[in-house]
Amino acid sequence: MQATRPLSESEKRDWLRLIRSAHLGPVTFHNILRYYGSAAKAIERLPEMAQRGGAKRQIRLADDKTVAQELKALKACGASLLAWGEPGYPVGLMQLDDAPPLLAVKGDPLITDVPGIAIVGARNASAIGQRFTRDIAAQLSEAGFCILSGLARGIDRAAHDGALSAQGRTAAFIGTGIDVVFPPENAALHEQLAERGAIFAEMPAGTPPLAQNFPRRNRLISGASQGVLVVEAALKSGSLITARMAGEQGREVMAVPGSPLDPRCHGSNDLIRNGAALIERVEDILTILTPQQRRTTPVVAASPVTPVDDGDLGRAHLEIERLLSPSPALVDDLIRLSGLSAAIVQMVLTEKELAGAVLRHPGNRVSLA
């Protein structure tokens, strides 16, 4: 990862070209940058890395035209690119292994410089659920929190509305391109957030609402927060994905109890049954997130460049291949059993992932593709 400083325009173009390349996700991006120090150098070495990993597919780097088109689209809609480590990049996200290298942003990213609470829930929320959400979002705003959500229908909209009504801070993380308004009925709210808050998007400009992108978006909502409050969520709700991710990220998980007769509350009630904090009023949250915690902004140090000798990598590939199987294995186990350094094991896995020979799984596990 780069040092925590603003990137030059040319550096940012290189970052954009690298992250928009096929089969290259945030974890791989950060690993590559950690070893090569710059995106420009990584781009030069990418074909060689894939070849060493036992290439099963052709590396397709994003071309200059693709990068230029995206930058043009961002400018046209009044958005800009924010890189990991730059001022304004949400501090909570910087702690994540899969933090987006680049975020498109409309509005004031410094809105998220204060501690955030995510509020999520049903899109088809009840009137009472939306009323509760607006009220508690306003109260949390007055207490100094930034209200985070996903700019969806129902609970998300009520959370943003509540913060805005209290003249508080609020930010949205969306699963489309920054220039795509979804759902259409939230167009006015979208503009309000761009003017009085902030909107962040990981996906390329122009990306339509696709179901597979929203779980990725959910990790950003939880990751940027100190805790997630779930209001009205069915048992197979996307809000439960956000809550699960919050737990995995070490964030507080909280839920509002609801009627057992309302299917929209079965998921949130189940969270409470399994250990989530029961929330009935704003004081319940303020008790969990103490004033000291709320004032504390975590400091994330930039990772140093960790060069790896290519000869060592060649030998290490043979050892890691011996240990891998179609069943997911913990990366920590591969490090321990191989006797290799963590830096070399991570680089081998990165090269094999680029080559299409390895798949990454939740829980820091990998398997043969």
Cβ-Cβ contacts under 8 Å for 365 (sequence gap 6 or more): 328, 329, 330, 331
φ and ψ at residue 184, rounded to 5 degrees? -60, -35
- Domains of the chain, by residue range, sit at 9-105, 111-199+210-295, 310-364
In the numeric block, which tokens belong to residue 147? Answer: 């209200």
Tokens standing for residue 233: 């969520």
Whole-number Å distance between alpha carbons of 232 and 236: 12
Phi, psi of 174 (to 5 degrees): -110, 155
| Exposed e or buried b per residue across 50-83, where buried means at least 16 C-beta atoms within 10 angstroms of its C-beta | bebbebeeebeebeeeebeebbebbeebebebbb
Domain 310-364 in CATH 1.10.10.10 = yes
Q: Encode burial over 201-214: b for 16+ CB neighbours within 10 A, e otherwise.
A: bbbbbebebeeebb
Do residues 226 and 252 lie in contact, with contact meaning Cβ atoms separated by under 8 Å? yes
pTM (two decimals): 0.89
Q: Which residues contact 313 (CB under 8 A, 6 or more apart)?
A: 52, 344, 347, 348, 351
| Neighbouring-strand partners of residue 106 | 199
Report the distance separating Cα 111 and Cα 115, nearest Å. 10
H/E stretch holding 358: strand 358-361
Q: Could you tell me if 191 and 160 are in contact, meaning their C-beta atoms sit under 8 angstroms apart?
A: no
Note whether 125 and 95 are within 8 A (CB): no
CATH code of 111-199+210-295, in short, is 3.40.50.450
Q: How many residues does the chain have?
A: 369
Distance CA 279, CA 288 (A): 10
Q: How many Cα neighbours within 13 Å face the side chain of 292? A: 0
- CA 227/CA 346 separation, integer angstroms: 30
Strand partners, 366: 329, 360
Which tokens sit at 39? 């995106």
Q: Could you read off the pLDDT tens digit of each residue along the chain, which spans 369 residues?
A: 444 578 999 999 999 999 998 878 898 899 889 888 899 998 988 877 777 766 666 677 888 999 999 999 999 999 999 999 999 999 999 989 899 999 999 999 999 999 999 999 999 999 999 999 999 999 999 999 999 999 999 999 999 999 999 999 999 999 999 999 999 999 999 999 999 999 999 999 999 999 999 999 999 999 999 999 999 999 999 999 999 999 999 999 999 999 999 999 999 999 999 999 999 999 999 999 865 455 444 444 445 556 666 667 778 988 999 999 999 999 999 999 999 988 889 889 988 888 888 888 877 899 998
- Position 298 scores a pLDDT of 45
**Distance (Å) of CA 235 to CA 157, 210, 221, 240, 265:** 21, 21, 20, 8, 8
* Closest to 93 (Cα-Cα) out of 38, 30, 143: 30
- The verdict on whether omega for the bond into residue 184 sits within 30 degrees of 0, i.e. cis, is no
Return the closest-CA partner of residue 30 out of 337, 300, 368. Answer: 300
